[in-house]
Amino acid sequence: MDLRDIDDRDMQKVAQELRAEMVDAVSITGGHLGAGLGVVELTLAIHKVFDTPNDRLIFDVGHQCYPHKILTGRRDQIRTLRQEDGLSGFTKRAESEYDPFGAAHSSTSISAGLGMAVASEMMETPRNVIAVIGDGAMSAGMAYEALNNAGALDARLIVILNDNDMSIAPPTGAMSAYLARLASGRTYMGMREFGKKLTAYLGKTVDRAITRAVEHARGYVTGGTLFEELGFYHIGPIDGHSFDHLLPVLRNVRDNSQGPVLIHVVTQKGKGYPPAEAAADKYHGVSKFDVITGTQAKATPNAPSYTRVFAEALVQEAGHDEKIIAVTAAMPDGTGLSLFNETYPERCFDVGIAEQHAVTFAAGMASEGLKPFAAIYSTFLQRAYDQVVHDVAIQGLPVRFPIDRAGFVGADGPTHAGSFDTTYLATLPGFTVMAAADEAELKHMVRTAAAYDDGPISFRYPRGEGVGVEMPERGAILEIGKGRIVKEGSKIALLSFGTRLAECQLAAEDLDAAGLSTTVADARFAKPLDTDLIRQLARHHEVLLTVEEGAVGGFGSHVMQYLAHQGLLDNGLKVRPLVIPDIFMDQAKPEAMYIRAGLDRKGIVDAVFQALGTTNILSTTTQA
């Protein structure tokens, strides 16, 4: 049965069924739970009132899109969420016509929606454009840039602010709902538009004064003065779990609005599933869990996670240096800085979803002699690249960049993969760029960064647990631009940058067994390069492979540049840079992604034999 044919009185039953289906699916796949549970009624109401997919619906970030996917022809695939060859955990254009814009990073929905609204007007294609954005995403400057532009253009755009933390205002019961229906109705909106046209004859100054007076007066009752100042017609707050509130307001806005409208909806994360309601933070993103008890499956780690090692090492170094400061952009748990905050709350700053501000904020602190560690995921640091260049690198400021989620991230797919940071940082003059081969090396790099004051410095490490190496009591200060030989050989050289070192060591065992004596080296630095080490490897080996968990243009490209300028490619040296393929790779288990990329043990061995121009003589048994 089509959702639009269901009687309004039966919508709550549909919501219960949808919520149960989502809980059951995510218990099998894992994924984002709390946010989706919070927008079940809102998602149903939007699809019932609006003519999707002709009307465009954009979910900001996409954490809350699972109910949307179930409703839009993907219910039979919902238990493939975040799995290889399955549904994406976010909205994705290639997946469905109901996903008009892909979203996995925060605060893009209003900008994209405004672009669609303008395009619809220019192409004379009447349609509604609805952007659903959470209150957390509204902490990013991009959202306000889009609001400002939409207000200036007076575009016909509907923004729904999903306030799921009550961070702006709680709903005020029946009176609030009544005022919202009244304010979104044809009479009030018509009077407002008529008033604007009438006062236009009296001049812009008078028009602006009258309009602002009216909206300020209404703002005292309904809130939203900020949005009104930006040019939006503000409605709410309303109860985002009540169809009696949602449906009439959405219908009024659909039928009567002319310019940009913002509807303030208050919801509860985890709504309808008691374990998620009781602990919204723990049920934002979940592993597989038991539906009855809510108990999440926990793998027993063989080694501490890289994130934990970083956090503990930073706390340790902060105990030795009171100038060390931690900065995060709304990811205190993901980056491990929640641990730092427990020990040094006065030295830990969460700036919200504002990576650009985080970087320049850290630059300001560095300019005054503090030692800021701006801990930002590789994929999120991309959003602040201009600030990294202009506010940090050009000024040579010693901001420290711990870069989590380097390389493939599994179920989160290409939107969250840390593929490009080595390329976009190592190209900057004066930047020191490191990568940890294991958790002990990460501890060394935290201390090295703390001690380094000669310019910006970064160190990258992957998601997940370490390799189980013996850990030092405290990290050592590494010599800048110097790598290390891990294993000596004479014919093949494997030069690793990052945590593929363990696979290089396994590959070396196979190559040695095939009679190909193999050296394994850990570069540690992409910039400055250890030119002595590279020269030694190039002169004394027949084949040189660079191996990294990053895109083309990174470490391997810098090595090739050096070899070419030094004439070290002229004596027949066979060089093969192994990198993440030049594609956006869809989600799968990280191990499968590295195999596909040829960055596993077998892929490294195969690359050596290809460089030698011979067939891989090793059996699959030997490599298993």
Sheet with 56-59, side-by-side order of all strands: 56-59, 129-134, 158-163, 261-266, 233-239
Same domain, 449 and 500: no
How confident is the prediction for the chain on average, in pLDDT?
89
Is 269 a residue of the active site?
A: yes
| pLDDT bracket for residue 223 (50, 70, 90) | low
Predicted pLDDT of residue 186: 64
Is 487 a residue of the active site?
A: no
The CATH number of the domain holding residue 536 is: 3.40.50.920
Same domain, 33 and 169: yes
Tens of pLDDT along 267-293?
998 998 988 888 777 778 888 888 888
Tens of pLDDT along 316-365?
999 999 999 999 999 999 999 999 999 999 999 999 999 999 999 999 99
Q: Picking from 170-174, 281-285, 404-408, 427-431, which range would have the lowest pLDDT averaged per residue?
A: 170-174
For residue 435, what are the β-bridge partners?
460
For the cut 70, the answer to whether the pLDDT of residue 606 exceeds it is yes
Residue 283, domain member (yes or no): no
Average pLDDT over residues 600-623: 82
Instruction: Give me the residue label for tokens 């019961």.
Output: 173
Nearest Cα to Cα of residue 602 among 491, 466, 493, 504: 504
Same domain, 201 and 102: yes
Q: Picking from 418-427, 580-589, 610-619, which range would have the lowest pLDDT averaged per residue?
A: 610-619
For the cut 60, the answer to whether the pLDDT of residue 89 exceeds it is yes
The CATH number of the domain holding residue 372 is: 3.40.50.970
- Tell me the C-alpha distance between 85 and 593, whole Å: 12
Average pLDDT over residues 417-443: 97
Indicate the number of domains in the chain. 3
Dihedral angle of Cα 319, 466, 284, 362, to the nearest 10 degrees: 40
| Among 302-306, 434-438, 613-617, the range of highest mean pLDDT | 434-438
Tens of pLDDT along 51-71?
999 999 999 988 899 999 999
Same domain, 109 and 247: yes
Average pLDDT over residues 495-511: 98
- CB contact set of 83 (below 8 Å; sequence gap of 6+): 29, 411, 587, 588
Q: pTM of the prediction?
A: 0.86
Q: Which has more pLDDT, 300 or 127?
A: 127
Same domain, 439 and 344: yes
For the cut 80, the answer to whether the pLDDT of residue 11 exceeds it is yes
For the cut 70, the answer to whether the pLDDT of residue 520 exceeds it is yes
Among 127, 156, 218, 269, the one annotated catalytic: 269
Same domain, 450 and 525: no
| pLDDT bracket for residue 169 (50, 70, 90) | very low
Predicted pLDDT of residue 296: 87
Predicted pLDDT of residue 220: 45
Residue 298, domain member (yes or no): no
Predicted pLDDT of residue 289: 87
Predicted pLDDT of residue 471: 95
Residue at a domain's end among 275, 297, 321: 275
Same domain, 247 and 314: no
- Tell me the C-alpha distance between 556 and 571, whole Å: 19
Nearest Cα to Cα of residue 329 among 313, 349, 346, 309: 349
Same domain, 327 and 267: no
Residue 467, domain member (yes or no): no
Is 229 a residue of the active site?
A: no
Average pLDDT over residues 529-540: 97
For the cut 60, the answer to whether the pLDDT of residue 412 exceeds it is yes
Among 271, 383, 447, 524, the one annotated catalytic: 383
Predicted pLDDT of residue 236: 85
Burial 591-609 (b: 16+ CB within 10 A, else e): eebbebbbbbbbbbbbbbb
Domain coverage including residue 530: 484-623
Residue 21, domain member (yes or no): yes
How many C-beta atoms lie closer than 10 Å to residue 9's C-beta?
9
Predicted pLDDT of residue 197: 56
Same domain, 397 and 517: no
Average pLDDT over residues 360-377: 98
Tens of pLDDT along 296-320?
887 777 889 999 999 999 999 999 9
Residue 291, domain member (yes or no): no
Q: Is 551 left (phi over 0), alpha (psi -120 to 50) or beta?
A: beta
Same domain, 441 and 560: no
Tens of pLDDT along 230-258?
899 999 899 999 999 999 999 999 998 88
Tens of pLDDT along 550-563?
999 999 999 999 99
Residue 406, domain member (yes or no): yes
Residue 434, domain member (yes or no): yes
Among 21, 215, 355, 503, the one annotated catalytic: 355
Q: Is 497 left (phi over 0), alpha (psi -120 to 50) or beta?
A: beta
DSSP 446-511: HHHHHH--SS-EEEE--SSB---PPPPSS---PPTT--EEEE--SSEEEEEESTTHHHHHHHHHHH
Predicted pLDDT of residue 235: 93
Average pLDDT over residues 424-431: 98
Average pLDDT over residues 101-128: 93
For residue 233, what are the β-bridge partners?
261
Predicted pLDDT of residue 507: 98
> Residue 372, SS3?
strand
Same domain, 410 and 508: no
Predicted pLDDT of residue 55: 97
For the cut 90, the answer to whether the pLDDT of residue 496 exceeds it is yes
| pLDDT bracket for residue 181 (50, 70, 90) | low
Residue 289, domain member (yes or no): no
Residue at a domain's end among 255, 275, 295: 275
Predicted pLDDT of residue 109: 94
Same domain, 435 and 498: no
Q: Picking from 186-190, 503-507, 509-513, which range would have the lowest pLDDT averaged per residue?
A: 186-190
| pLDDT bracket for residue 417 (50, 70, 90) | very high
For the cut 80, the answer to whether the pLDDT of residue 399 exceeds it is yes
Q: Which has more pLDDT, 213 or 30?
A: 30
